[in-house]
């Protein structure tokens, strides 16, 4: 009886320690610097975290099939630039149409990634590194290497998703993220598609034996990833009042970082959406806290790096310990 | 030992199919073709000053790429290589002061390289002993180093007039019009080629990367070999970074971030050359020249060549990778992305 109970606490700790750490971190920072918990600050942190988390939710699908996508940032830049160009030069009237076209155009980028990986057979991490260059070229060509700001077009509609706060504190972005997260969690955990995605990544040989069409699921994963990065890019443009070829630069490694952190939460060693969200909240909090306390902002990189090492180290150790016992 | 390797190499070479032969020389052929195109479009690409600058840039990038090659051979995707080079440069930069003697410079450079090696060893401890996936450890180290370099350079483009003229010589001096960095690059290529292809340790590095289990079973101390590859990699990165600082006479965080992707491209383009599917030294040499030529050429032909350059770099990268995966059975050595 006691043995099982002890096992349970251990298990809870290893499943949820990232959450516990995040809460502890928030409490400590709030004690040192109470203005950290000001409503304005909290809601801006949630907005920032949600932007990363939406793109990371897409990356989770690619990681489910056991690959990595380095082109997330460039896809975000593309869709952010696309919507700005569409609205700025007035080829498209109406925000909704521009929104949809921008996101659908990202499907082409995802298809390009899928083509390189599935048809040409290049390992995805290399294929996406190369395609990131190609996408960057497209974006530079599209925007002529300028950043377009709102002004010419209806700014209220444009900033609605990115800057509105419900009841004065809850960012609209969080609602968008929740909707996407619910759909994605359902898709990944409750449908055949999701199970197959994880199966392709987890045990490719078994998939071959039971007749799962691996290529199909790989293509689907890249398409989902590109669409969600596209959504995130459009929202990023809405938050930043405009977009250009550099809109998504910061997100290329941020999304991977977040997924790596998220993989230590709940499902050990497997990227998952709640973990990715928690990871982006933690990273955003660290960045914010460093500035709040008044340290130069480059310390945030060191802090985030150390947290990543610690998180992965602890989860690796716990797993090794469990396997031994 | 050396003789044995040679005979086995010859037999491998003899088995090369025409397709593989084509692939293995394509990069050099493509380079000659774009040389001709650029020369026709704008002969000034090959003016003496431009060639000197291209050789120097290719050398600094190529030396970091050589370092990256050793780490990547053992199956670790090292995103921190660029920052390791910037760290060495930042340490040298922050140590140098007015009236430095020759011994002072040597000490500063030695400390810079030592710091880079220290982080190489930390990278090794994290991946080999603590079993953190190498890719994640590299990502974390990259961020930590970003902060360290920012701290050392006061988060600015750091330079000082106190650095002295002697420090400029290694990066900016030239012998009969050939810049010193290029001579250093050629020398390092020869040393690395000999180490990688003709010594026991070098072959063990390759064997460990190709199949770690098999390597361990035939009695190779894979842990030691991996540490050696991390250390050699860090030394080469440091040399590249210090040369970069000497040439541009400044050091900053962006330096480390900027050199990462070109170095990566160099290694992977190189893997399509000479011995396709395998990271190799001649490939790094040609790859470095190729990428720099492509960049310089496009910028001098197209005004606002930013997008043309990005597109060409991306396509060259894709074609090289596509050829490797089409012509070779095994493809490139695997990189571990387990989380």
CB-closest option in B142, B309, B321 to A126: B321
Interface of A with B in 107-146 (CB under 8 A): 116, 120-123, 125-127, 129-138, 140-141, 144-145
The percentage of residues in chain A with a pLDDT greater than 90, rounded to a whole number, is 34
Which residues of chain A lie closer than 8 angstroms to B324, CB-CB? Answer: 122
- Stretch B233-238: mean pLDDT: 94
Minimal Cα distance from B313: which residue of A?
Answer: A133
Q: Say which residues have a Cβ less than 8 Å from residue A7's Cβ, sequence separation at least 6.
A: none
Provide the Cα torsion A30, A36, A38, A41; round to 10°: -150
Minimal Cα distance from A143: which residue of B?
Answer: B307
B311: pLDDT confidence band, cut at 50, 70 and 90? confident
Contact B241, B88 (CB under 8 A): yes
User: What pLDDT shows up at residue A40?
Assistant: 86
A1: pLDDT confidence band, cut at 50, 70 and 90? very low
Distance of residue A236 Cα from the nearest chain B Cα, in angstroms? 22
B332: pLDDT confidence band, cut at 50, 70 and 90? low
What is the b/e burial string over A220-249, where b = at least 16 CB atoms within 10 angstroms of the residue's CB? bbbbbbbbbbbbbbbbbbbbbbbbbbbbbe
Q: Does the structure show a pLDDT above 90 at B86?
A: yes
Q: Which of A19-33, A227-241, A242-256, B10-24 has the lowest mean pLDDT?
A: B10-24
User: What pLDDT shows up at residue B319?
Assistant: 83
Contact B321 A270 (CB under 8 A): no
CA B313 to chain centre: 16
User: What pLDDT shows up at residue B11?
Assistant: 42
User: What pLDDT shows up at residue B173?
Assistant: 80
| Averaged pLDDT of chain B | 83
Q: What is the ipTM of this complex?
A: 0.85
User: What pLDDT shows up at residue B338?
Assistant: 52
Q: Does the structure show a pLDDT above 60 at B329?
A: no
Which residues of chain A lie closer than 8 angstroms to B148, CB-CB? Answer: 302
- Stretch A70-97: mean pLDDT: 86
User: What pLDDT shows up at residue B2?
Assistant: 40
User: What pLDDT shows up at residue B228?
Assistant: 93
Interface of A with B in 48-77 (CB under 8 A): 63, 66-68
User: What pLDDT shows up at residue B98?
Assistant: 66
User: What pLDDT shows up at residue A226?
Assistant: 95
Contact A74, A135 (CB under 8 A): yes
User: What pLDDT shows up at residue A92?
Assistant: 62
- Stretch B199-228: mean pLDDT: 87
- Stretch A240-245: mean pLDDT: 85
**Within a 10 A sphere around the Cβ of A13, how many other Cβ atoms?**
12
Q: Does the structure show a pLDDT above 50 at B7?
A: no
Interface of A with B in 272-301 (CB under 8 A): 296, 298-301
The CA-atom distances, in angstroms, between A116 and each of A131, A135, A207, B158, B315 are 8, 13, 21, 41, 11
DSSP strands (E only) in chain A = 148-149, 165-166, 170-171, 242-243
Q: Does the structure show a pLDDT above 70 at A100?
A: yes
For the record, the structure tokens of B105 come out as 């410079």
User: What pLDDT shows up at residue A145?
Assistant: 81
User: What pLDDT shows up at residue A207?
Assistant: 85
Q: Does the structure show a pLDDT above 60 at A124?
A: yes
Distance of residue B147 Cα from the nearest chain A Cα, in angstroms? 5
| Domain range summary for chain B, segments of one domain joined by + | 21-327
| Domain range summary for chain A, segments of one domain joined by + | 38-250
B336: pLDDT confidence band, cut at 50, 70 and 90? low
Contact A129 B136 (CB under 8 A): no
Minimal Cα distance from B308: which residue of A?
Answer: A137
Q: Does the structure show a pLDDT above 50 at A310?
A: yes
User: What pLDDT shows up at residue B335?
Assistant: 56
A7: pLDDT confidence band, cut at 50, 70 and 90? low
Q: Does the structure show a pLDDT above 80 at A96?
A: yes
- Stretch B77-92: mean pLDDT: 91
Tell me how far apart the alpha carbons of residues B209 and B71 are, in angstroms, rounded to a whole number. Answer: 9
- Stretch B79-105: mean pLDDT: 85
- Stretch B53-63: mean pLDDT: 92
User: CATH number for the B21-327 domain, one of 1.10.3470, 1.10.1060, 1.10.287, 2.60.40?
Assistant: 1.10.3470
Q: Does the structure show a pLDDT above 70 at B71?
A: yes
Q: Does the structure show a pLDDT above 70 at B334?
A: no
- Stretch B165-194: mean pLDDT: 86
Q: Does the structure show a pLDDT above 60 at B105?
A: yes
């Amino acid at each position: 009886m006691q043995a099982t109970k002890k096992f349970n606490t251990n298990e809870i700790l290893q499943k949820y320690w990232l959450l516990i750490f995040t809460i502890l971190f928030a409490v400590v920072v709030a004690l040192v610097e109470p203005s950290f918990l000001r409503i304005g600050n909290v809601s801006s942190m949630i907005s920032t975290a949600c932007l990363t988390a939406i793109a990371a939710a897409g990356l989770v699908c690619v990681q489910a099939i056991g690959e990595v996508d380095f082109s997330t940032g460039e896809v975000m830049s593309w869709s952010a630039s696309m919507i700005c160009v569409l609205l700025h030069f007035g080829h498209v009237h109406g925000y909704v149409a521009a929104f949809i076209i921008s996101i659908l155009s990202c499907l082409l980028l995802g298809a390009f990634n899928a083509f390189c990986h599935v048809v040409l057979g290049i390992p995805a991490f290399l294929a996406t590194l190369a395609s990131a260059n190609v996408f960057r070229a497209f974006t530079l060509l599209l925007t002529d290497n300028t950043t377009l700001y709102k002004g010419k077009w209806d700014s209220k509609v444009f900033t609605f998703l990115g800057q509105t706060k419900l009841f004065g504190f809850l960012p609209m972005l969080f609602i968008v993220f929740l909707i996407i997260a619910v759909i994605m969690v359902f898709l990944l955990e409750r449908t055949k598609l999701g199970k197959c995605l994880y199966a392709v990544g987890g045990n490719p040989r078994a998939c071959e034996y039971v007749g799962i069409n691996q290529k199909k699921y790989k293509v689907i994963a890249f398409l989902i990833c590109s669409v969600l990065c596209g959504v995130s890019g459009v929202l990023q443009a809405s938050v930043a009042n405009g977009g250009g070829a550099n809109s998504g630069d910061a997100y290329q490694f941020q999304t991977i970082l977040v997924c790596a952190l998220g993989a230590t939460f709940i499902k050990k060693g497997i990227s998952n959406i709640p973990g990715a969200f928690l990871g982006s909240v933690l990273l955003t909090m660290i960045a914010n806290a460093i500035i709040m306390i008044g340290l130069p902002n480059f310390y945030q990189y060191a802090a985030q790096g150390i947290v990543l090492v610690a998180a992965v180290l602890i989860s690796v150790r716990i797993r090794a310990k469990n396997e031994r016992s | 030992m050396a003789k044995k390797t040679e005979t086995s190499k010859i037999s491998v070479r003899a088995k090369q199919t025409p397709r593989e032969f084509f692939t293995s020389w394509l990069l050099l052929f493509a380079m000659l073709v774009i040389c001709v195109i650029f020369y026709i479009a704008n002969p000034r690409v090959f003016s003496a000053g431009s060639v000197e600058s291209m050789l120097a840039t290719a050398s600094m990038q190529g030396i970091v790429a050589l370092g990256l090659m050793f780490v990547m051979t053992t199956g670790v995707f090292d995103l921190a290589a660029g920052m390791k080079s910037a760290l060495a440069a930042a340490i040298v930069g922050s140590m140098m002061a007015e009236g430095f003697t020759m011994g002072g410079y040597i000490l500063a450079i030695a400390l810079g390289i030592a710091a880079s090696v220290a982080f190489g060893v930390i990278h090794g401890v994290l991946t080999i002993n603590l079993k953190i996936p190498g890719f994640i450890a590299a990502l974390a180290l990259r961020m930590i180093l970003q902060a360290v370099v920012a701290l050392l350079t006061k988060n600015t483009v750091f330079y000082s007039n106190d650095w002295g003229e002697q420090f400029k010589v290694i990066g900016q001096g030239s012998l009969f019009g050939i810049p010193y960095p290029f001579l250093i690059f050629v020398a390092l290529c020869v040393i690395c080629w000999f180490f990688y292809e003709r010594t026991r340790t070098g072959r063990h590095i390759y064997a460990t990367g190709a199949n770690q289990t098999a390597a361990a079973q035939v009695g190779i101390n894979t842990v030691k070999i991996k540490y050696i590859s991390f250390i050699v990699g860090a030394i080469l990165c440091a040399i590249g970074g210090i040369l970069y600082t000497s040439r541009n006479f400044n050091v900053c965080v962006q330096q480390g971030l900027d050199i990462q992707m070109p170095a990566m491209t160099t290694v992977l383009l190189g893997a399509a050359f000479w011995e396709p599917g395998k990271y190799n030294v001649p490939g790094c040499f040609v790859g470095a020249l190729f990428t720099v030529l492509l960049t310089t050429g496009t910028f001098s032909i197209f005004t606002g060549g930013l997008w043309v350059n990005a597109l060409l770099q991306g396509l060259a990268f894709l074609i090289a990778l596509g050829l490797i995966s089409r012509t070779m059975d095994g493809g490139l050595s695997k990189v571990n992305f387990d989380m």
